[in-house]
Amino acid sequence: MNVHRTGRTTVAVAAAVVLSFTSAGLASGASADVSRDHGEDEITVGIKYDQPGIGLKTPDGTYTGFDVDVATYIAKELGHEPGDIVWKEAKSADRETLLQRGDVDFIAASYSINDKRAEKVDFAGPYLLAHQDVLIRADDDSIKQPSDLNNKKLCSVTGSTSAQNVKDKIAPDAQLQEYGGYSECLTGLENGVIDAVTTDDSILAGYASQAEFKDKFKLGGFKMSNENYGIGVQKGSDLKAKINTALEKMVADGSWDAAVKKNFGPAGYQNEPAPKIGVIVQ
């Protein structure tokens, strides 16, 4: 028995030694985009890469959008220059995992605060109060209130909260088309197969502000839900308090208003005033 145990321990120790060598070898050979290997000044931020107005990676490799502006401001307050920010894509389904594993320092990716998510991660903010809304064709006068949606054809992204809201609450009788992305919905809206695209007004405003869709679409202005966008950080992280301070400063010095105007302005988006830190509108 004793011999066995010693044998096993030896094997375990040997395995551990081999593993640590391997990982050391990997770490030294790995490229700079492995987030945790970055230098002192770098900070890794998770954003969306595919939402115009919120977080978008442009073809020339730069990043634009409201979340990007907020994240850049926070990073500056935390002592990181814009050049030291390592951007990382945070798709909706990956966000909790990215934070739990420590792949990113914080996430600003149209991340709505809710109870289930708050069990897994901590939220700073909220920094924006969005509402579920519809985007309709500019010449469409038949949709004036949410109840008008019931005999219409709606579109949203597969599995998203907005799509589920339509099915369960807002317009159970409406036909709902779900696609992998909003661009497919917008194609349908443009050629008349779809009457309204629905998701958070901030995202819709971002799309409507794009040059190619200008003057074609308009926002319905229905406040069908409350989405409190927060900055996701690892559970128990001391970043939460620092980010909250940064957000308060951003609102106080006018940078927040400037960022809203810059990213959502062209769509005629009536934004809510900056939310109070820690106040979640149900």
Partner 1 sequence: MFDFLQGYNLLGAFWVTVQLTVYSAIGSLIWGTLLAAMRVSPVPLMRGFGTAYVNIVRNIPLTVIIVFTSLGLFQTLGVSLGADRFTTINFRLAILGLTAYTSAFVCEAVRSGINTVPLGQVEAARAIGLSFPQVLRIIVLPQAFRSVVGPLANVLIALTKNTTVAAAIGVAEAALLMREMIENEAQLILISTIFAFGFICLTLPTGLFLGWVAKKVAVKR
| Chain residues that interact with partner 1, rule: CB under 8 A | 92-94, 96-97, 116-117, 119-120, 153, 158-161, 163-164, 175-180, 184, 187-188, 191, 193
Residue with tokens 């369960």: 168
Q: Cβ closer to partner 1: 23 or 158? A: 158
**Nearest one of 258, 259, 231, 235 to 245, comparing CA atoms:** 231
Q: Cβ closer to partner 1: 153 or 223? A: 153
Shortest Å distance, C-beta 39 to partner 1: 30
Shortest Å distance, C-beta 1 to partner 1: 35
What are the structure tokens assigned to 215, written together? 């003057």
Q: Cβ closer to partner 1: 62 or 100? A: 100
Shortest Å distance, C-beta 92 to partner 1: 6
Q: Cβ closer to partner 1: 143 or 163? A: 163
Q: Cβ closer to partner 1: 72 or 160? A: 160
Q: Cβ closer to partner 1: 177 or 210? A: 177
**Nearest one of 43, 37, 105, 122 to 79, comparing CA atoms:** 43
Shortest Å distance, C-beta 78 to partner 1: 25
Shortest Å distance, C-beta 177 to partner 1: 5
Shortest Å distance, C-beta 274 to partner 1: 26
